[in-house]
Chain A
Amino acid sequence: SAVISQKPSRDICQRGTSLTIQCQVDSQVTMMFWYRQQPGQSLTLIATANQGSEATYESGFVIDKFPISRPNLTFSTLTVSNMSPEDSSIYLCSGGYTFGSGTRLTVV
């Protein structure tokens, strides 16, 4: 099965700044997904990242806040823009049946 390297694993950021999370897959995957997970809660899908086209966002998530790049079939980034404390969460990427290890974001 594929292996996904996600980084950073954690970060503490100032409000108003942006953080870009990267996911590298060791094999090509058609679709990649970005999720948010509050501690002790389930996963909420943010968007689907498609290579060669704009990401598809779920209700409640917008491109200006969570811009996504998918330059090829093995890589994707999610940016959390203009952060506020409410953005503090764990962010996860997935491709195929595999997930990254997550990014624990704390906004102060």
Chain B
Amino acid sequence: LAKTTQPISMDSYEGQEVNITCSHNNIATNDYITWYQQFPSQGPRFIIQGYKTKVTNEVASLFIPADRKSSTLSLPRVSLSDTAVYYCLVGPPEGRKLIWGLGTSLAVNP
């Protein structure tokens, strides 16, 4: 299973766009890239998943270059409530066995 590397922490301000980049150099052909959000004392919450190019939903966008060795989660116009830990994972789709890294702790300031 591919390992991922992402920044330990990031700071931002309300209304800004936040981009969190994840490296996954050993991603396999059949691996998908999935991002989760976790608030303290809660289980992780699925944000977005993609295989290549760009995926967008009502919450975020996911940009994946052609070589798929990295990906960028983009959160538009963050608010204080977006303060959380964001995890990037690679592996089979549908929530199958995944290896969790340390995640990125995002702090959104007023």
A residues contacting B by CB (< 8 A) are 1, 4, 6, 30-31, 33, 35, 41-45, 48, 92, 94-102, 104
Contact = CB atoms under 8 A, between A and B. Distances in A.
Contact of B43 (A30, A48, A96, A99): A99
Contacts of B102: 41-42
Interface stretch (B59-67, B75-83, B93-101): B93-101
B41 A97 contact: no
Main secondary structure of the interface of B (DSSP, over half): loop
Interface of B: 34, 41-46, 49, 87, 94-103
B103 A102 contact: no
Contacts of A97: 34, 46, 49, 94-95
Given A42-B101, A43-B100, A44-B100, A96 B95 contact: yes
B20 to A, nearest CB: 15
Nearest to B101: A42
A48 B44 contact: no
A1 B41 CA distance: 21
A31 B96 contact: yes
A99 B44 contact: yes
> For the complex, would chain A's binding face be called helix, strand, loop or mixed by DSSP majority?
strand
14 contacts: A1-B46, A4-B43, A31-B95, A33-B95, A41-B102, A42-B100, A45-B97, A45-B98, A45-B99, A94-B44, A97-B95, A102-B41, A102-B42, A102-B43
A34 to B, nearest CB: 12
Given A45-B97, A48-B97, 4 more contacts: A31-B96, A41-B102, A94-B95, A97-B95
A42 to B, nearest CB: 5
